[in-house]
Structure 1
Amino acid sequence: MSECPERSSRISLLKEPLLRRLCEVLDRCGNRGWRKLGEIVSRDRRFRVSDDELEVCSLKVLQPEGSPSRMLLRLMGERGCTAGQLIDHLQTLGNSEALECLKPSALQIIVQPQSVALMSGHNLRLTCYAVAKSPVQYQWFKTKDEVPNSFSPDLMISPVNVKDAGFYICRVNCGESFEFSHWAQVDVLNGNVSHGLSYHSPEGGLRLVIQPQSQQLHIGEDLQLECGAVGRPIPGYQWYRNGVPMPKVTKRKLVIPHATQDHRGRYRCEISSSNERTWTNEVDVFIAPRISVQLSGATECSEDDIYAIGVGSDDFLLNSIPDQLYATDKVALLIGNLSYRNHPQLKAPMVDVYDLTNLLRQLNFQVVSLLDLTESEMRNAVDEFLLLLHKGVYGLLYYAGHGYENYGNSFMVPVDAPNPYRSANCLCVQSILKLMQEKETGLNVFLLDMCRKRNIHDDSMPNIVLRVTANIVFGYATCQDAEAFELSSSGFTNGVFVKFLKKRLLDDEKITVVLDRVAEDMGHFNATKGKQALEIRSSLSERRALTDPILPGNSAELTHTYSRRWAKAHELPESMCLNFDCDAQIKLGFAAEFSNVLVIYTYIVKKPEDMTFCQAHVTDFPQELDVDPKEMNRETPEETGIYFLSSSLPQHCLYTRVSSLQKLKEDLVFTVCLQGTFASMDDDSVYWSKSIDIGKPLIARLDLHRAVRRNSCLQTCQMPHSPSHSPCHSPCHSPGPEHRLHLHHGSHQAVDHNRLSPQHHYLDVYETPHQGAAGGWGDYHYDNLNPAYTTTSAGGLSSPMGRVSIPIEATDDIAEIQTVFMNSMQFNQQ
């Protein structure tokens, strides 16, 4: 039986036996082997195999049973190389033995049968066509049984019935040679359960024909939901409950035997085929308990008697179950400003943002956390987030840094703000909220960890007209005209607000209830009692919670597009192995501490036996990045300022922390230097170097450094009484509907806002290890309490929840059927 592929098939689909033989040939050949093939392929612009990638291929020889050829073919396959293109390159290479592996056989199947889903009563046609030097014969099988009278290239069943559903395969004979076609699955939908939807031919693409129906059950009964679509190829299915994919529930029919109350909720199915995707209606499943009703001291009746005696009905029982609220998506932006150029430096924001980032990820938020942004960078970051907002999205903004409040409007102060600063130099939170409202977001949460003192240098009165909506929650770290505090400590500690917020954030409660409890906890904290109190402002009329599940709405495809773009901007460079002429090899790895903070580490993989000392370090970074030469290439993460990832980084490396990636204008290019000494050279050091280009990592891909557009929807809103306007921005135009903001919660903001006091104070506090009685937290002791500002720095890398393409329903079944079928063929031939 030949395994030779068609010329148009991808080499990533080569069968394992053929791939193994081909790699064995290319691995053992010298000047006509894999390396020469790689050099030929590198000149083909369609595949672009680089020198570094060829070096990675060569490292496979160091692994047990490793194959450089397999790695090279994998890279080519990932870039779309077909079997025909590989044959052309092998001909250029002149390797006849390798070409023999791919040589077409005397018998070839050129038309494979395709899986299809169709309605009962229609005509089924499967086609398998082969060519050979002599006549061929056909025989169709359903699973392992021959289909009677099926000896032609076309298998016709007219009309098709539900019993005809299953897996089909065709055997083609030519003399003593034979080939089997691919398996084809046939799914036949019962027309009797079609719920009023019109049917179209499978050739017309994906069509939804069966919608699931709401269920009202009692505990212990079987839950059954069904949907269906027709099309060629056969559609794939993925069921969702409360917006969350159900593991391994990938068939048309969802069956849960003996359902419990844990199975109640809202169900929906995603149906996909090739490049098409659609969703069923969302249906409610109610599951009521089986109860008995006591009519007198000695008489009871079962649930079956309730309706008759007038106590109630199923509707009575089921109507008591509250509706579940959903988000169509969740996105959060965290900004922590601490390294101010013209104002006191802050400390707590970095810790607070990091902690909140990890908590929000657990709540399925897409999170971007950024440290130390200038005015233009803040505006561009928010502008990018606006694109993620649409109807029903939960948007959360957390800001920690200097700030102030004038006439009920809150202003966030960038790190490059002048002294004194005015509204034209800052971002108005209410302006952002206005833009979020226009997107009809489901929930808007603002957590502002900053001072709210009035700015005596700014008399502007923003004219911001907000819509009347019931989906806004403000959590202020302190009351109006008051300061927020950060705790003075020799180490890293949370600010007062986030210290208590992070203990409550994951509670499955309405967001205002969560904040109420945080306020109570803060009220028991002796260090700030009477000096800082959480203030909550809310127009929320529903029980919206950060724990609400995600259920994509009608704009799911648009959401997916923006999510892919944002996820692309948070990808880390792939780790790489570098080989030097001295036969030393080092590993270059990457990690993300925040969305704009990259960690680079190097360690020695191997070195020559006669090398007495070997060390690799990185250098020559672009000037716009924040890299302290004194803290580069240190032996512990803490020495270079990496405090949060130290436990997850590999040991025995040299570490470098690269900040301010949002300022990167071109690809990040730096130098890796290798230093070695040899005993034969009196221990004199020898140096080797390589220039490395890793593109634009993480947030650098969004070009936040660019100038703000003149018509940016995030321009400072027009303030006729303002004595100053930003020299680089024009007054705000009417915000366009295409922009929306989703922001991230929780950061302590530093208060020195309007420079009311020339002094910069901290609240000196330390914790004792035992539990305190007040509020359930540990005891705190403080030496003095002075007016202070609190700030939080935010960072952290988010893992956007990508939408995964759904596999064909019977993917797992085909493997099992293949085994059973082939075993039966072998048995019959004995």
Structure 2
Amino acid sequence: MKSWRHAHSRSWNLEEVQVGIFCRCCQRRPAASSICSAVLTGWATLLRFSYFPASLISSSTVQESVQIMVQPESQLVAEGKRASLICQAVGPPGFGYQWFCGKQEVTNATCHELVFSPVTQQTSGWYICRVHCGTNFVFSKWAQVIVNKASSPSPVGGFCPTMDGLCILKQPQSCIVEEGDLLELSCTAIGNPPPQYQWFQNGTLIQGAKHSSFKVRLATTAERGRYCCRVYNFFREVWSLEVHVEVGPRLHIIENFWHNTEIPLEPADSSVRLHASDKVALLIGNMNYLHHKVLKAPMVDVHELTNLLRQLDFKVVSLLDLSKSEMQMAVKEFLLLLDKGVYGLLYYAGHGYENFGNSFMVPIDAPHSYTSEHCLCVQSLLQSMQERQTGLNVFLLDMCRKRNMNDDILPQVGALKVTANIVFGYATCADAEAYEISQGELSNGIFVSFLKKWLLKDEKITVLLDKVAEDMGTCEITKGKQALELKSNLSEWRALTDRIMSVEGSEGFSVRNLQWAKAHVLPESQHLLFDCGIKVQLGFAAEFSNVLIIYTQIVDIPEGIPECEAKITDIAEDLDMDLKFTNKESPEATNSLLFTARSFMFPDRCLYTRICGLQKLKKELTFTICLQYRYQEIDDYIQENRSVNIGKPLVSKLNLQEDGSVGVSRAQLPVASVESCQDGIVYLFQDPGSVDTSLGPTPPCLCGDVSDDSHHSSYCFSGQWEPMLAGLQQANVPEENQSPDTVMTP
């Protein structure tokens, strides 16, 4: 008798275990639940055999006790109407019903008919009925209820599939999306057994795209093409319509009603709208300085402005951490994209200064006591842009404008032309600092924090910057410390939202498109098949024009190989890679603050490597895929290597590492010579007595400190610096301090 009590006790435990396993399967993939129920019924039989005597139960007990005669059928029902699912069974007295929606038990649904009256959107879902008699039970087939809104069209003929039917209810639609936006295609089908999905691009199967909805969070031009979806179950298969996806700049096609509702196509108060022959933007963010304080905000600011400007149809080149020669070559390439009537925009975030009305951008390799010899002059760049007969010249300078006391020569920039199309938007006033917000790893500059709210508005550019200035004036933490300054001689109503109308038959527009596209072509995704049968996918994503993320994913593993891993090794020496940021399980671990695993289609079993400074690449980028794996029941790992050459990706095609002075005129190289400089930086650490303390503690300045002891002081204007003030001419360029405030100064 002891063994019988033991057997009955374990029998009830098994019943609980079976239900738990079933629920987990359904929660993971409802579409496969019809398979789960059949498998679990088999498990139930096998498990009971191990605890009950054979004389008490046999493999046919469940089927002989309870038999389902009428299976529930999937339905397409109208919202607000009455509907029902029916499961009719026969068996010994005392058998009962229990309905489930997915893994959830439907309350009070204990009869053969499950009634919905009235039908609501919450009714939609997958339903199954459990028919039980004592300890025995059997499940019905799955049935899907789809609720059709009153405004939604019904399938042709009102077809509702039977147990072996399959029907597509919603076809995917062709679409146009912008680079960086979400691409989403949807195909909804109904059938019993439940349908499964597989998406195809240009006739090629898309790995991992096995759901009714296909999404790419950050669309690139690689997503252009023809898409269709294969819908299938155990009995049938059907194919969706083939649709076209276009990825590129925003299109304004009035006759097809494609437009951005946030950007009016015409200004409300203008009878004649001006236009651009093209729009080009160069965005530079310098963060990781070799001899000065590292900044945080430029990366985030450049990334956000890149996405916004692309929505305005700008051809954007975004670059991080450039040396002097690289900045010179980037400017040279920028000038090649400009021509008559083109809107040119330069955004710079990083260290900077201003002498005698001339602004200087500081490269990351500038020495401690830098002068204009080591920097790029913005006004010289403007002069070069004017020679290209641009239609609009916009400069957004997110940097400090303190004087540089190391420079004692007056810059000789030369006279600018009177073109009446120049706009300067300074993040701060003359002889003042610019600040960045410190919020963990993701930081914005104060300037961009307010600018991004207005950038897409259809306003004259000077009016837009005025509104940004008004908003910045409401910022309490920088009040009295930073204020936007606008300088302009713009005489026409021109806005960043102006449409592009290229000159008929113009070859320049095509040349610019090719030149810009040249610096933004990603390497093609590759599938590498190793001798052991393992297939590895190699994919690429661009974070900036000079920052590439490579990810490796194992997509096919033969039986008998329980463990394997594919890593990137032997990356080109030109790039000076930090190995701690290679082969990580998430993009964040590679020091990417902008991409996450959700940004990619295949987050599972992926390893990510982030490659920065592509402009330094002197030859084609090569590396090795190192595959390590082991066979079952063998402890030793086997290694296979495969060399990969992806050519020159992104901006590396432009050879920006070349000497900036080669083949470039002085007008194309906005770098002031030693003979043309006069003043330098006014150091932040002034006489405490001259500081207006009514404004509260002053955040540290991005211009920096003058001593290695700077980290001992929370604020820049500190009395401990008084003994050093007399020797400022010999001191190094000041570095920033970290501040307990939420603001930092550039």
TM-score, length basis structure 2: 0.57
- Distance change in 2, residues 1:507/1:687 (3 Å): same
**Cα offset, 1:565, TM superposition:** 2.3
Q: Which ranges in structure 1 are unaligned for 5 or more consecutive residues?
A: 1-56, 64-241, 250-261, 267-286, 288-319, 726-749, 765-781, 791-830
Superposed displacement of residue 751, structure 1: 5.6
Residue 446 of structure 2 is matched in structure 1 by 496
> What are the equivalent positions in structure 2 for 1:651-662 lying under 5 Å apart?
651-652=603-604, 653-662=606-615
Q: 1:599 to 1:243 in 2, by over 3 A?
A: closer
SS of the residue 2:440 aligns to: coil
SS of the residue 2:609 aligns to: strand
Q: Which position in structure 2 is the counterpart of 1:299? A: none
Instruction: Say which SS state the counterpart of residue 633 (structure 1) adopts.
Output: coil
**Higher RCO (Cα < 8 Å, 6 or more apart):** 1
Deviation at 1:562, TM superposition (A): 2.6
**SS of aligned partner of 1:527:** helix
Matched position secondary structure for 1:577:
strand
**Whole-Å separation in 2 of the counterparts to 1:548 and 1:432:** 23
After superposition, residues 706-717 of structure 1 pair within 5 angstroms as: 706-710=658-662, 711-712=664-665, 713-717=668-672
Structure 1 Cα separation of the partners of residues 433 and 655 of structure 2: 34
Show the 5 A alignment for 1:204-215.
none
Match of 2:489 in 1: 539
Q: How far apart, CA to CA, are the structure 2 residues paired with 1:554 and 1:471?
A: 23
Q: Does 1:789 align with 2:740?
A: no
> What is the rounded CA distance, in whole Å, between the counterparts of 1:752 and 1:399 in structure 2?
14
What CA distance in whole angstroms lies between the structure 2 residues aligned with 1:507 and 1:572?
31
Please name the residue that 2:240 is paired with.
none
Contact 2:438 2:742 in 1 (8 A): no
Say whether the 8 Å CA contact 2:623–2:645 is kept in structure 1.
yes
Match of 1:361 among 295, 306, 310: 310
Distance 1:61 1:515 in 2: 45
- What letter matches 1:673 in structure 2? C
- 2:417 alignment partner in structure 1: 467
AA partner of residue 407 (structure 2): D
For 2:633 and 2:365, locate their aligned partners in 1 and report how far apart those are by CA, in whole Å.
Answer: 55
Cα deviation, residue 624, structure 1: 1.9
Instruction: Check if 1:390 corresponds to 2:390.
Output: no
Give the direction of change, closer, same or farther, for the CA distance of 1:570–1:558 in structure 2 (3 Å limit).
same
Q: 1:720, CA displacement in angstroms?
A: 3.6
> What's the counterpart of residue 424 of structure 1?
373
Decide whether the 8 Å contact of 1:762 with 1:787 is kept in 2. Answer: no
Residue deviations 1:472-508 (CA, integer Å, cap 9, x gap): 1101001000001112332312111101110111011
Matched, 1:675 2:623: no
Is 1:695 aligned to residue 647 of structure 2? yes
In structure 2, distance between residues paired with 1:600 and 1:334? 23
Match of 1:483 among 404, 408, 433: 433
- Equivalent residues, number: 451
Structure 1 stretch 434-443 or stretch 406-415: which is displaced more? Answer: 434-443
Shift of the 453–785 alpha-carbon distance from structure 1 to 2, 3 Å rule, reads farther
Q: Which sections of structure 2, spanning at least 5 residues, go unmatched?
A: 1-201, 209-249, 258-262, 681-699, 717-737
Decide which of 448, 454, 460 is 1:510's aligned counterpart. 460
Q: Is the 8 A contact 2:701 2:744 kept in 1?
A: yes
- SS of the aligned residue for 1:665 comes to coil
Structure 1 match to 2:390:
441
Query: Residues 158-177 of structure 1 correspond to what in structure 2 (within 5 A)?
Result: none
SS at match of 1:611: coil
Q: TM-score under structure 1 normalisation?
A: 0.51
Change (3 A) 1:634 1:787: closer
Cα–Cα, structure 1 residues 321 and 787, in superposed 2: closer, same or farther, change >3 Å? closer
- Answer yes or no: is the 8 Å Cα contact 1:377–1:662 preserved in 2: yes
Where does 1:805-824 land on structure 2 (aligned, <5 Å)?
Answer: none
Preserved CA contact (<8 Å) 1:610 1:679: yes
1:785 Cα shift? 5.6
- 2:359 aligns to what? 410
Q: How far apart, in 1, do the equivalents of 2:656 and 2:364 lie? A: 15
Check whether the contact 1:342–1:418 (CA below 8 A) recurs between aligned residues.
yes
With over 3 angstroms needed to count, the CA separation of the structure-2 counterparts of 1:606 and 1:323, relative to structure 1, is same
User: 1:686: which partner in 2?
Assistant: 638
Indicate if the aligned counterparts of 2:451 and 2:468 stay in contact, CA closer than 8 A: yes
Which residue of 291, 294, 299 corresponds with 1:350?
299
Cα displacement string for residues 373-402 of structure 1 (whole angstroms, at most 9, x for unaligned residues): 000000000001101111111100000000
Whether contact under 8 Å (1:449, 1:477) holds in the other structure is yes
Q: Distance in 1 between matches of 2:512 and 2:671?
A: 26
Answer yes or no: is the 8 Å Cα contact 1:486–1:762 preserved in 2.
Answer: no
Pair 1:757–1:471, CA change in 2 (3 A):
farther
- Cα drift, residue 789 of structure 1: 2.7
Q: Is residue 539–residue 550 contact of structure 2 (8 Å, CA) maintained in 1?
A: yes
* Residue range with higher mean Cα deviation, 624-633 or 336-345: 624-633
* Superposed displacement of residue 783, structure 1: 8.1
Deviation by residue 1:11-48 (Cα, 9 ceiling, x = unmatched): xxxxxxxxxxxxxxxxxxxxxxxxxxxxxxxxxxxxxx
Q: Pick one of 304, 322, 325 that aligns with 1:373.
A: 322
Which residue number in structure 1 is paired with residue 543 of structure 2? 593
Distance 2:679 2:397 in 1: 25
Give deviations 1:688-718, integer Å, cap 9, x for gaps.
Answer: 1100000000000000001123443215245
CA-to-aligned-CA distance 1:233-289 (integer Å, 9 cap, x gap): xxxxxxxxx99556679xxxxxxxxxxxx99989xxxxxxxxxxxxxxxxxxxx9xx
Aligned residue number for residue 560 of structure 2: 610
Identical pairs, percent? 54
Displacement of 1:753 in angstroms is: 4.2
Matched AA of 1:455: N
SS at match of 1:624: helix
In structure 2, relative to structure 1, the CA distance for the partners of 1:757 and 1:624 (3 Å cut) is: same
| Distance change >3 Å, CA 244–CA 61, structure 1 → 2 | closer
Q: Which amino acid aligns with 1:666?
A: K
Residues 754 and 457 (structure 1 numbering): CA distance in 2 closer, same or farther, change over 3 Å? farther
Q: 1:388 corresponds to which letter in structure 2?
A: L
The answer to whether the Cα contact below 8 Å between 1:454 and 1:754 also exists between their aligned partners in 2 is no
Other-structure match for 2:599 = 648
- In 1: Cα distance, 2:659 partner to 2:545 partner: 20
Q: Distance in 1 between matches of 2:558 and 2:251?
A: 56
Deviating above 6 A after TM superposition, structure 1's stretches of 4 or more consecutive aligned residues are 59-63, 262-266, 754-758, 760-764
Counterparts in 2 of 1:61 and 1:531: CA distance versus 1, 3 Å = closer
Task: Supply the distance in 1 between the matched residues of 2:320 and 2:677 (Cα, whole angstroms).
Answer: 29
